[in-house]
Amino acid sequence: MSHFYGTLQGSRGQATRCGSKDSGITTYAASWAGAVQACVYVRDGKDWATVRLTTWSGAGVDRLLYDGPVDPVRVVVGNGRPDAPQLLGLHLPEKTAERELGGDLAESSAAV
């Protein structure tokens, strides 16, 4: 049985791919201006994700946007713990980040 499962929808319909704990799964969504890469894999026994902007056909930039667990309760912005996942490139004070990202981060950080 697959541990990870991915889908994509385009002009030729839907396609799916599976990934194991050993292989993980990586996908790209690209345009002529660059691409977004999303990866899920197992790190230290937990499901982990990275999301980054990346180049495609010579266009775009390479910038990490998120690197952390696939566990919405643990996604905390600006708490300063070195082991906590961070939304990279989002340099907002914690209260501003809570407002910008839907306002439910205070409850999430209390659960951590």
Q: What are phi and psi of 20, to 5 degrees?
A: -95, 175
Give the three-state DSSP class for 110.
Answer: helix
pTM: 0.64
pLDDT of residue 100: 45
Q: What number is the average pLDDT over the span 44-66?
A: 94
- pLDDT value at 88 more than 70: no
Residues ≥6 apart with Cβ < 8 Å to 40: 4, 19, 24, 25, 47, 48, 49, 70
Q: Please tell me the distance from the alpha carbon of residue 91 to that of residue 77, in angstroms, as a whole number.
A: 9
1: confidence class by pLDDT, cuts 50, 70, 90: confident
Write out the two tokens for 100: 């910008």
